[in-house]
Amino acid sequence: MKVAVEGGELTASITREAVTELGLADGTPVVALVKSTEISLATG
C-alpha cells in the first residue's frame, strides 16, 4: 500500500485480509501511525 503524504509517499506492507477488514480502496483517507525500532531504506 502506498500512502501519499506532503513531500512524498509512504509504503506499507499489509495483508489482503487487512485491506478487506479496513475497507481500503484507492483514495480512502487514512492516518499513518509509525511504530518501529527498525527502518529499511532503499534507493531508486
**How many independent structural domains does the chain possess?**
1
Predicted structure pTM score: 0.58
pLDDT in tens, 1-44: 788 888 888 888 889 999 999 999 988 998 888 887 888 888 98
Which of the 8 DSSP states describes residue 22? H
Which residues, including other chains, have CB under 8 Å from residue 1's CB and lie 6 or more apart? 11, 12, 13, 14, 19, 24
Which of the 8 DSSP states describes residue 37? S
Predicted pLDDT at 13: 85
Query: Which domain, by its residues, includes 14?
Result: 1-44
Predicted pLDDT at 25: 92
